[in-house]
Copies of this chain bind each other. A is one copy, B any other.
């Protein structure tokens, strides 16, 4: 079997972002931690860490960390049945990738009770909806929320429901750019806001109305920043309904085409061998999202 003393040292250095803090957590001297990492590297025959102001795992290091995370989840299941084995009091860490808009809206409400009850610490990774799965495939996260339904090898996917997006802008932006009405043409000529290079929601929205060409847009890879730019009148954009109820009610933002929402379906991808905790979180999310996401 692997030497888990060495793997735990690697996990601690990465999780604690440094040798000093890792040593504190492990109750070892810094040089002992350092030696364990070196020994691990001698065994695998290549570096597991890129040393820097903050140590980062190498490709192989990341795979080892992924393995440690899986083993911890399995141990957790076992220690529930065999309490005597349960020596640690440290809460479990779950590394999960999700799209920024989920994190900015329904995610916290959906998971807080679960995390408090099960003593889980979340390590969230924000990925655009189309690319979160890459993290699953790379073994970098235990689960992911994204817009693709097809699971990667070794994983399952579960439909959670959809987020509804609406095209919005500020009243003064509307007055400046849409005085003659909102058409595909006037939309394509007014500056838009796009989340990032992987976000084609605005492109799809325009294309669905026959505006296939290029259009001018700001790039703003932050959900909150996106709203702030829209509110300030920098451009129009597709925004999750969940995020702007108050701004719509107050009139700070207005809908451009109320009859044309876009629904983006969301799927929960999780390891098939992720252990009981991940299974429970899956069931919990299924219940918690039933109310907040648009169900088919």
Contacts and interface: CB of A to CB of B under 8 A. Distances in A.
Give the oligomeric copy count.
Answer: 2
A286 interface: no
Interface in A66-123: 90-91, 100, 103-105, 107-109, 111-112, 115-116, 121-123
A124 interface: yes
A223 B221 contact: no
Given A197-B17, A216-B91, A103 B233 contact: no
A222 B112 contact: no
Given A108-B232, A115-B234, A229-B108, A221 B125 contact: yes
A161 B196 CA distance: 28
Nearest to A110: B232
Residue of A17, A108, A221, A231 ringed by the most chain B CB atoms within 10 A: A108
Contact of A222 (B54, B109, B216, B222): B222
A164 interface: no
Given A112-B232, A124-B220, 6 more contacts: A100-B224, A103-B225, A104-B222, A109-B228, A121-B216, A122-B218
